[in-house]
Amino acid sequence: MTVPLSPPGPADATRARRRHGSPALGAGLLGAALALAAMSVLSLAVGSGDVALHDVAAGVFSPDRSVHGQMIIQEVRLPRTLAGLLAGSALGVAGALMQGIARNPLADPGLLGVNAGASVTVVLAISVLSLTEPAEYIWFGFLGACVAAVLVYGIGSLGREGATPVKLALAGAATTAVLGSLTSAMLLRDSRTFDQFRFWQVGALNGRDLDVLWQALPFIAVGGVSALLLGPSLNALALGDDLARGLGQRIVAVRLTGAASVVLLCGAATAIAGPIGFLGLAVPHAARLITGPDYKWILPYSALLAPALLLFADVVGRLIARPGEVQVGVITAALGAIPFVLLVRRRNVVEL
């Protein structure tokens, strides 16, 4: 393993700041927020049901459920849009956080086994406990995400050098395979569970109760705020453990707080939308292209860009297979692959 994987050094950070400057980045953040708002409106306004534009605004703010269009907004599109906002932000921040604390360009809930952990416990809940409602079995997904994250990080960080990228990625791949085969073993014996699981597994925003969102919201809020507060510490971590320690960072505490936030965010996002891949991997890399390597900016950019992308993907999924639809997890994978490959081809990202 000779490819250098440490993030760009402080010289790059200074250069990036000189090039962009904080005001420009602040304005960019505003632009990202506007893009997100536009995507939210799009997600409310576009879909297979026929909804007049004036019903959209009314359906959100003062719904009259006797009007069909307003009922669709209230019952279908508003929960769906909120689900996209929450799950997208959570995944974007979680991805950036994972890449920061693990100093690992490959960090993603999918790659590091967190999704697989959520899947295996969801299947357990469906097949053993006979739970049928997402609002019931999501908490098992949450539990599984925690266990998998702890397992992967624990194994990956054994030894002198701590959690190096390669060790973490290998531990993640191995854990994913173990949990995946446990999931398969359960599913193959039980076709009813399999039938439910195959729809959960693609990752989707439709059919989510507001209840689920309310349950997930506190976890995302706590995880998100603590992630944003970790920005400066992540910048120090990027210099390497020894330098970070020299700068007065308690690196173990930073990593533990970060990992706890990741688990909260990924677990809640998976609970809302199922395992959505790519978003947590691709969006922070895209954000880094705009902001440079400063995590104080990467984190908020990821928090805004990821839900914008997720909502856009969801809208595309509603339009391309009418009258049916393509689940958003499929679209994010397809849409995410293109910029992802472009990003990977840039030398500095590969060596991050």
Helix/strand/coil (H, E, C) string of 37-82?
Answer: HHHHHHHHHCCCCCCCHHHHHHHHHCCCCCCHHHHHHHHHHHHHHH
Q: Which of residues 332-351 bind other proteins (CB under 8 A)?
A: 332-334, 336-337, 340-341, 344-345, 347, 350-351
CA distance 318 to 90: 23
4 vs 248, which CB is nearer to other proteins? 4
54 vs 198, which CB is nearer to other proteins? 198
Q: Which of 60, 65, 113, 52 is nearest to 280 (CA)?
A: 113
Q: Which of residues 8-67 bind other proteins (CB under 8 A)?
A: none
Cβ distance 95 to 107 under 8 Å?
yes
256 vs 344, which CB is nearer to other proteins? 344
Using CB under 8 A as the binding rule, whether residue 139 contacts other proteins is answered as no
DSSP assigned state of 139 = H
24 vs 177, which CB is nearer to other proteins? 177
Crossing angle, helix 295-320 and helix 210-229, to 10 degrees?
150
Q: Which of residues 90-109 bind other proteins (CB under 8 A)?
A: 105-106
Nearest distance, CB of residue 81 and other proteins, angstroms: 22
Residue type, 168: L
CA distance 107 to 173: 11
35 vs 190, which CB is nearer to other proteins? 190
Nearest distance, CB of residue 170 and other proteins, angstroms: 6
32 vs 305, which CB is nearer to other proteins? 305
Using CB under 8 A as the binding rule, whether residue 155 contacts other proteins is answered as yes
Nearest distance, CB of residue 287 and other proteins, angstroms: 17
45 vs 349, which CB is nearer to other proteins? 349
Residue 234 to residues 43, 69, 91, 185, 244: CA-CA distances in angstroms? 34, 46, 18, 40, 9
220 vs 343, which CB is nearer to other proteins? 343
Q: Which of residues 275-334 bind other proteins (CB under 8 A)?
A: 277-278, 326-327, 329-330, 332-334
Six-digit token pair at 163? 């959690």
**Phi first, then psi: what are they for 161, rounded to 5°?**
-80, 0
Contacts with other proteins by CB under 8 A: the residue count is 60
The CB density around residue 42, as the number of other CB atoms within 10 Å, is 16
CA distance 352 to 99: 9
Render 146-215 in DSSP notation, one character per residue: HHHHHHHHHHHT-STT-S-HHHHHHHHHHHHHHHHHHHHHHHHT-HHHHHHHHHHHT---TT--HHHHHH
Residues 82, 86, 91, 97, CA torsion sign: positive
Select from 111, 112, 212, 269 the one that contacts other proteins (CB under 8 A). 111
Nearest distance, CB of residue 58 and other proteins, angstroms: 34
Cβ distance 168 to 102 under 8 Å?
yes
Using CB under 8 A as the binding rule, whether residue 269 contacts other proteins is answered as no
Q: Which of residues 157-216 bind other proteins (CB under 8 A)?
A: 158-161, 164-167, 169-171, 173-175, 177-178, 180-182, 184-185, 187-189, 191, 194-195, 198-199, 201-203
46 vs 170, which CB is nearer to other proteins? 170
Nearest distance, CB of residue 86 and other proteins, angstroms: 21
Select from 59, 100, 110, 307 the one that contacts other proteins (CB under 8 A). 110
Q: Which residues bind other proteins (CB under 8 A)?
A: 1-3, 5, 105-106, 110-111, 155-156, 158-161, 164-167, 169-171, 173-175, 177-178, 180-182, 184-185, 187-189, 191, 194-195, 198-199, 201-203, 277-278, 326-327, 329-330, 332-334, 336-337, 340-341, 344-345, 347, 350-351
